[in-house]
Structure 1
Amino acid sequence: METLAISQLFDLRGKSAIVTGGSKGIGLGIVERLSEAGASVMIADVDTAAAEAEAARLRDARRTVASCPTDMRAPASIRAMAQRTVELFGRLDILVNNAGIFPMAPALDVSAELWDSVLEVNLRG
């Protein structure tokens, strides 16, 4: 059976996407695949340096990728992310709400403040 490249399976040219939590892990993999398929992609992440580094790497590969510092706990930051995407790419077609945090500790050892952050990012963001 023949293996096809993403760009042969999906044509997303002319579409734009936001991937929250897109600077690493699964989110970065999604950014890579969407941009490979031709989409213009905004990496929205609280880790500004990592998001811009990955966007620059993908731009070097001739993909249309930008980054936007985004705190999923802050509604104003989320609005700014959407506005910046439309300003840069002219539209917004795809949203991948991938951002999430999780404490690497036993539940009883997690502070109330950290639980609040988990809920704000994972449920509200």
Structure 2
Amino acid sequence: MVSTRAAHLCACGIASLLKRVVSLKVAIKNERDESPEMTVGVDGSVFRFHPNFEDLLNTKIHELLDGQLNDWKIVLALSEDGSGTAAAIATRMSRIVKEKQELEAVVQTGASTSNVETSQKATTTTARNGH
């Protein structure tokens, strides 16, 4: 009962992401011109050791998407140390976003300062010319 509920809750998140990916048509057909394949990395001891969890998860994902996969093949793959890897990726992405925002602020400030300086020079030139 508990493991079924856990599989269903996991399937909701996975199905939601898959639905978005399929709607964006992110995957392409492979070299053999077969249907696109989406691999979902799954980590955790329940997925790894529970005898039926993968089947419960797979069944519920397909039930939730009911015909919305457009012939896509969904593969659930065990991801070793997925949480550690995900934490590293999230940290790096956060830093990249922060650096981008800082750079945009500098560029924006530089552009504003440049516009003010240009405006001041134009005013000074106009005043000198008597206009």
TM, length-normalised to structure 2? 0.31
**Structure holding more strand per residue:** 1
Structure showing greater Rg: 2
**Structure holding more helix per residue:** 2
TM, length-normalised to structure 1? 0.32
